[in-house]
């Protein structure tokens, strides 16, 4: 029976995460975030409860630290273009693009979201993965799945144990080739994010 529940839970997770991606991906022109970016400085965009929740949470985190800014899109895109051409942007270029990065220019009114200035871009990637992980964890627990490992590429959530022992999560050394582990975290019923 557990196996059957696990398969059904997996299907629910797959569909739910796909739905989140379709709404929140900054790389899809037809996503809610894509439409917000496309209409920056022009008009507000109707969003789902999921997207509104994630944007609100991101803005709360930004108020706490002022380091987490979902309007980082223009700067990320600029760096990607430069690196693709084997270039490093100048300080002046970076400062110019950074002028478009400011979470205070995100306006939420009821179920609508608006970026105040043209060329601004929202990117929820850093928080949407965590949201998808939390939703997936809740689905597994609703189906009474006792042991599982969720891996969303840098966002890990452990439920229960792996063959009676805590899950062992290897942390990749960021300064070396893939496969070199910096350390191992022993985990159960917790989130690990790198």
- 56 part of a folded domain: yes
> Are residues 121 and 37 part of one domain?
yes
Q: What are phi and psi of 20, to 5 degrees?
A: -60, -45
- 135 part of a folded domain: no
Q: What is the pLDDT of residue 6?
A: 77
Per-residue model confidence as pLDDT tens digits over 101-147: 999 999 999 999 999 999 999 999 989 999 999 999 999 999 999 99
- Among 98, 128, 158, identify where a domain stops: 128
> Could you tell me the CA-to-CA distances from 125 to 20, 91, 114 in Å, in that order?
11, 25, 18
> What is the count of structural domains for the chain?
2
Instruction: Give the Cα separation of 14 and 74 in Å (integer).
Output: 30
DSSP calls for 122-138 = ---HHHHHHHHHHHHHH
Closest CA to 125 of 153, 158, 98, 102: 153
> Are residues 114 and 71 part of one domain?
yes
| Cα dihedral 114→116→119→123 (10° resolution) | -50
> Are residues 83 and 20 part of one domain?
yes
The CATH number that applies at residue 109 is 3.10.520.10
> Average pLDDT for residues 53-78, to the nearest whole number?
94
Q: What is the pLDDT of residue 2?
A: 52
| Per-position b or e across 16-36, b if 16+ CB within 10 A of its CB | bbeebeebbbbeeeebbbbbb
Instruction: Give the least confident one: 11-15, 65-69, 161-165.
Output: 65-69
- Among 78, 101, 128, identify where a domain stops: 128
Average pLDDT, the chain: 93
- Asked if 76 and 70 touch (Cβ cutoff 8 Å), the reply is no
> Are residues 159 and 65 part of one domain?
no
- 9 part of a folded domain: no
- 140 part of a folded domain: no
Kindly state the DSSP code that residue 173 receives in the 8-state scheme.
Answer: P
Range of the domain at 182: 146-194
> Are residues 166 and 95 part of one domain?
no
> Are residues 170 and 97 part of one domain?
no
> Are residues 56 and 29 part of one domain?
yes
């Amino acid at each position: 029976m557990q196996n059957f529940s696990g398969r059904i839970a997996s299907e629910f997770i797959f569909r739910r995460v796909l739905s989140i991606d379709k709404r929140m991906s900054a790389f899809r022109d037809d996503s809610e975030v894509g439409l917000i970016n496309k209409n920056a400085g022009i008009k507000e965009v109707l969003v789902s409860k999921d997207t509104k929740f994630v944007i609100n949470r991101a803005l709360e985190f930004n108020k706490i630290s002022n380091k987490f800014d979902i309007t980082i899109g223009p700067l990320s895109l600029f760096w990607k273009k430069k690196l693709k051409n084997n270039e490093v942007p100048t300080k002046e270029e970076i400062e110019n693009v950074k002028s478009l990065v400011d979470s205070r220019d995100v306006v939420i009114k009821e179920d609508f979201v608006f970026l105040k200035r043209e060329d601004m871009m929202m990117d929820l990637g850093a928080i949407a993965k965590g949201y998808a992980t939390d939703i997936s964890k809740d689905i597994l627990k609703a189906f009474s799945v006792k042991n599982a490992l969720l891996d969303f590429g840098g966002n890990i959530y452990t439920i229960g144990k792996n063959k009676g022992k805590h899950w062992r999560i290897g942390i990749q050394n960021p300064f070396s080739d893939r496969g070199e582990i910096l350390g191992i975290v022993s985990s159960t019923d917790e989130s690990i994010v790198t």
